Amino acid sequence: MDKPTRRGRVRVATDQDIRRTARALLVERGPEAVTLRAIARELGITAPALYRYYGSRDDLVQHLRVDVVNDLAALLAEEVAELSDDGTAQLFAICRGFRRWALTHTKEFTLVFASPTGEVGSAAGSVATLTRASEPFGRIFLMAAGHILIKHQLTVPPADAVPVEIRDDLASFQDELLSVLGEAGVEFPREKLDLGTTYVMIQFWARLYGHITLEVFGNYPIPMSKPDAVFDALLADLANQIGIESV
């Protein structure tokens, strides 16, 4: 059988083909392997043909990030759907599910949560973390946190105990949090989301993310013979910090 012409091969490559191939390269070889040239080679087309769909590698990688985050959010949403409306159970199920996913999807975790983006974070070149509340993973995480904030009297620092240097940033973030919670159907009283509460939420995420990142890359300061128990201890400490019980 004659091979299809170059023009025919270009028509065969679709956006779905490109992203599926990019995802396979990511999982098999890591973020550095996701290049337009490598994708074109796998699809049997020329690299310039990919520019019909993406303006650059960065453009493609950003779409790939979104695909990964969407899949993660769908996975966690399915797990949470099996639980009651207890926000505490949901939040800690999300924490454990995120860690389990990170440890079994290390290449995807690296791309989304530990790769320079130049846009996300407090400075150019910072890592992609839970900074955009509108991201699917951020949305489900904040939904569970919102349920806890409504139903529990949390232990949070007073507003004047929050470092002055970050108060403006936290205040700006509050409106976005409230918007996300409202869109998710969580009727949240504005007065409960003060600077102290917002500060605690950011600290909670930072400690969770930091611990998981150390585990994924094998950089925890000491060898852990029982890593699950260490993570559960972290969750218990985080829960105790805000005056609730971990589950």
Q: Is the pLDDT of residue 55 over 80?
A: yes
Cβ burial, residue 98 (10 Å; 0-12/13-18/19+): buried
Hey, CA dihedral for 154, 157, 158, 159, is it positive or negative? negative
Please, which pLDDT band fits residue 165 given cuts at 50, 70 and 90?
Answer: very high
Ranges in the chain annotated CATH 1.10.10? 1-55
Indicate the CATH number for domain 66-242: 1.10.357.10
Cα(134)–Cα(161) distance, rounded to whole angstroms? 28
1-55 CATH pick, 3.30.470, 1.10.10, 3.30.450, 2.90.10: 1.10.10
Tens of pLDDT, residues 178-204:
887 777 777 777 777 888 888 888 888
Q: Is the pLDDT of residue 236 over 50?
A: yes
- What pLDDT sits at residue 130? 47
For 232-237, the CB contacts below 8 A with 24+ separation are 234/207, 234/208, 235/92, 235/95, 235/96
- Mean pLDDT throughout 150-172? 86
Helix (H, G, I), strand (E, B) or coil at 116: strand
Tell me the average pLDDT of the chain. Answer: 82
Ranges in the chain annotated CATH 1.10.357.10? 66-242
| Confidence (pTM) | 0.84
